């Protein structure tokens, strides 16, 4: 084959490829202009663990802000506007919105995660990032409850560290039902087992204080019983001070237990 014919063939195939690429760009861009959103896919990435919002809530927010993409031309749907309005919702941590050539608009959402709940004059959560989080009307998180004199600074500081310690320890997470903050910022604990109030005092050296109580549970209460004391004070160094319930209260408690036992046997 002469060089000139070889050059002509190479040029012809090159023009053919360029023509195909140009036609594809023109064809598919024209289709995108005409393509409309046929489906809105709302993905709650962490809904198996928490559901502060629902897919219906998200769809309503978009509808109220005239951002529902269904039936709209894909080209004119602003994913940035959708992300911006959803980021204003205090329940949401992260939002990602994107379109597909097939006409689907995906909204992927990551919710905020509560660490504990503050109950009092104001009721709210503190999330895992140490930030206040409103209580959801749709969902009640199973997290430690703190009541009493709780300020934002205290809740996001020393108290947050203490609650994290309780939540991360299997024994104390199962044992402590509620945390109460007194006016002097001393801590009282309400256990799930037994009737005694646990006076922790300040949050200084709380690990050592709880270890004293753990030893008392293992070596003392398992033998002596759990319902003989009304107060367990951990504030004193190297000791635990327990105050017994009165004999009258103990007698009343035994009578009530016997009545409950009789009723249960009849049932």
Q: What pLDDT shows up at residue 222? A: 61
Query: 176: Cβ–Cβ under 8 A, 6 or more apart, which residues?
Result: 144, 166, 189, 190, 191, 192
In sequence order, what DSSP letters do the residues of 78-129 get, joined into one string?
-HHHHHHHHHTSTTEEEEEEEE-TTSEEEEEEEE--EEEEEESSS-EEEETT
pLDDT per position as a tens digit, 232-266: 889 887 778 877 765 444 444 433 433 333 233 33
Buried b / exposed e across 152-175, counting CB within 10 Å, b at 16+?
eebbbebbbebbeebeeeeebeeb
Closest CA to 177 of 132, 125, 229, 142: 142
**Rounded-to-integer distance, Cα 200 and Cα 188, Å:** 6
pLDDT per position as a tens digit, 124-146: 999 999 999 999 877 888 899 99
- Domain 39-111 matches domain 124-266 at the CATH topology level: no
The pLDDT mean for the chain works out to 80
DSSP H helices in the chain: 3-34, 55-64, 79-87, 152-155, 158-168, 170-175, 206-216, 222-224, 247-266
**Rounded-to-integer distance, Cα 148 and Cα 152, Å:** 12
Cα–Cα distances in angstroms (integers) from residue 192 to residues 34, 146, 185, in the given order: 63, 15, 22
Most confident option among 8-22, 64-78, 231-245: 64-78
The answer, as to whether pTM is greater than 0.75, is no
Strands 114-119 and 104-111: unpaired
The CATH architecture annotation of domain 39-111 reads: Roll (3.10)
Asked if residue 50 has pLDDT above 90, the reply is: no
Q: What pLDDT shows up at residue 250? A: 45
Domain segments of the chain: what residues?
Answer: 39-111, 124-266
152 vs 243, residue with greater confidence: 152
The CATH architecture annotation of domain 124-266 reads: 3-Layer(aba) Sandwich (3.40)
Q: Residue 199: enclosing H or E segment and its boundaries?
A: strand 197-201
239 vs 173, residue with greater confidence: 173
**What is the pLDDT averaged over residues 145-167?**
93
């Amino acid at each position: 084959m002469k060089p000139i014919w070889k050059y002509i063939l190479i040029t012809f195939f090159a023009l053919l490829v360029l023509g195909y690429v140009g036609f594809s760009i023109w064809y598919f861009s024209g289709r995108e202009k005409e393509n409309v959103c046929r489906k809105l896919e709302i993905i709650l990435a962490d809904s198996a663990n928490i559901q502060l919002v629902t897919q219906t809530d998200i769809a309503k927010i978009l509808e109220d802000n005239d951002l529902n993409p269904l039936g709209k031309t894909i080209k004119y749907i602003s994913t940035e506007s959708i992300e911006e309005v959803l980021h204003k919702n205090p329940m949401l941590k992260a939002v990602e919105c994107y379109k597909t050539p097939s006409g689907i608009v995906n909204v992927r959402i990551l919710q905020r995660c509560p660490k504990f709940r503050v109950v009092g004059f104001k009721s709210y959560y503190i999330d895992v990032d140490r930030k206040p989080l409103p209580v959801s009307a749709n969902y009640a998180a199973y997290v430690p409850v703190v009541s009493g004199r709780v300020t934002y600074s205290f809740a996001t500081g020393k108290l947050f560290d203490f609650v994290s310690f309780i939540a991360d320890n299997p024994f104390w997470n199962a044992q402590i039902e509620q945390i109460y903050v007194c006016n002097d910022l001393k801590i009282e604990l309400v256990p799930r087992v037994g009737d005694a109030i646990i006076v922790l005092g300040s949050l200084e050296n709380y690990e050592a204080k709880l270890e004293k109580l753990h030893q008392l549970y293992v070596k003392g209460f398992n033998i002596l019983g759990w319902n003989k004391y009304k107060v367990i004070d951990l504030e004193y160094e190297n000791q635990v001070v327990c105050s017994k319930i009165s004999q009258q209260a103990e007698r009343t408690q035994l009578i009530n237990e016997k009545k409950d036992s009789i009723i249960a046997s009849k049932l």
